[in-house]
Every structure is written in C-alpha cells, then in structure tokens.
Amino acid sequence: MSGVEFVPFTLVPMVIGCLAAVACALPGNFLILRQQALIGDAISHVVLPGIVVAFLITGTVSTWPMLVGAGAAALLAVGMIEAIRRYGRIDAGAAMGVTFTAMFAAGVLLLEQSDTSAVHLDVEHALYGNLESLIWLEATGWQSLFEGDALVALPSEFFRMAVVTLVLIALLIVLWRPLAISTFDEGFAETLGLPVRAIGLGLVIAAAVAAVAAFDAVGSIIVIAMFLCPPAAARLMTNHLGTQVIWSVMFALASAVSGTILAGYGPLWLGFENAVSAAGMIGTMSGVLLMLAALFGPARR
C-alpha cells in the first residue's frame, strides 16, 4: 500500500468515518444513560423522508435543507406517536416502533420514485452511505496534507463532519455539569433550577444534527451502530461518566479505522477480488468490540 494510494483512497474516507462515529457516539452516551437509546435508532429512521422531501423541494443535499427537512420529519414523528398512543390505546414503545418503521419505509418509497440519480441519494446510499466514493482526487501523497490547493479539494463531507464534531465536543465541554446532573438525577437538577426539559430536548437535537450530518456520507447503518455500540461498550468498561465518554470515543475510532481498512483490503488479503461495504464493516466491528466488552469488560456486572 503506497503513500500515494493510501492518502486519497483510504485516509480521507477513514477520517470521515471517524468523525461521523465520534459525533454520534458523544450524544449516544447520554441517551443510553437516560434509557433513551431507541431515540438514536429512531432519528436515523425518521430523518430519511425529511431529507428526501427537502431534496425534492430544493434540489440540493446541502446541510441546512437537510436539517430543516429532518426537523420537520421529527416533529411529524412526535405527532404520529402521540396520536397512535392516545387514539390507538397502545403503549409508547409500540407507537414509536410503528412510526419509525412506517416513516423509514415512506422515505425508501420516495427515494425509489424520485429522480436522485444526479446525487448520492438513493436506497443504497441511505443504508450504506457513500463512504468509499469520498476520494481526495487532488492528493498525490502524504505531502498533500500540507498543500493548500489540495486541501481545498477535500470532499465537502469532510468539512461538514469536522465542524459538527467540533461543535458537539465544545457543547459537551461547556454543558457537561448540567447535562451530567440532569442525566443521573432529574429531581435534583430541578431543585438546582436547571432547565431539565430544555436539556433533554437539546440532547435530542444534538443527536439529530449528528445523524443528519453523517447520513449522506455513511448512511443509516453506521449512524445506528455508532449511537449504540461504542457508548454501550464504554458503559461496560467503567462506572465513571467522564471515563465512559473517553472509552466511547476510543471504541468509535477503533471501529471506524478497523472497519474501513478491513472493508477495503480484508477481502484482498483473503483472496477475494471485490471490497465490501465500509459502512457494513464499521458497523460489524462496532458490534465485535461491544461483544468483547461484554465478555471481558471490568464493569460488565
């Protein structure tokens, strides 16, 4: 594997996968601790029809139209869940399951009936993303990392994921104390005057932003896996919140790096000709790491 080959064909998709994994894992820690892990799964499903409708209206897959469409889809999902729960007289979990699967299916149907051939937005990319195609065409080797003209030609997904990840890290640092207190003891947080509902809503919004930013590049498989597997594996490694977040980031990075390399080169090492889906392999590696944490993690009991 030469430096010229590695930089454009593996390094950039790997870095984008790492950024997406970390962006999803950070809010995923608090969703799991709040016993709201299903929200991460839900977000990755309900955003699809919103993103497709936003594309059909604007003709672009840029970030802001996607966020607006995803937000509108989320509001619709909340209304549907409440209506099903109230008038159908079934529990909230069943109402959520019906709504999420119905909206994701509607998004798939919209994709199949829409002309999205000009962009990376179809059923396959909705599931697997287009991580393999995010190649840095201007790179000529490792020296391109220090060339301004070459850096400008990086895929737009790289800059989007970098900004979202940095913003989420900054918000986590600034809001660490109120977020931690409200996560573990809402009653105590209310006595301190903390806006518990606003914090919970902000957490969901942060998860939605991470999911939408990552959706185009990595698809729903990685989004779901990264919301759940790295934080769950980290929870099995420690009972300290700060340490758990650090563990989740390390698990997310390990999943993205190992998954990208194995997807591109693993089949060749085994004698097969075709590479496999990077999204599928990253999701698989996150599951493997979770299994290892469940078997050997010090806090698994």
Q: Quick one: pLDDT at residue 88?
A: 76
B/e letters for 108-122, b = 16+ CB within 10 Å, e = fewer, are: bebbeeeebeeebbb
**CA distances (Å), 140 to each of 6, 128, 135, in order?**
10, 28, 12
Domains with residue ranges and CATH for the chain:
3-296 (1.10.3470.10)
Residues in Cβ contact with 214 at an 8 Å cutoff, skipping those fewer than 6 apart: 20, 23, 24, 161, 164, 222, 223, 226
Q: Quick one: pLDDT at residue 126?
A: 62
pTM of the model: 0.84
CA–CA distance, 116 with 42 (Å, rounded to integer):
24
Per-block mean pLDDT, blocks of 10 residues, the chain (301 long): 54 88 93 81 77 78 72 78 78 77 83 62 63 70 68 80 93 93 88 87 84 76 85 93 95 93 77 75 92 84 58
Q: Quick one: pLDDT at residue 4?
A: 47
Q: Quick one: pLDDT at residue 21?
A: 92
Question: What is the residue whose two structure tokens read 């940095």?
Answer: 166
The answer to whether residues 23 and 164 touch, using CB atoms and an 8 Å cutoff, is: yes
Secondary structure class of 185 (helix, strand, coil): coil
CA–CA distance, 293 with 298 (Å, rounded to integer):
8
In this structure, the number of other CB atoms found within 10 A of the CB of residue 67 comes to 19
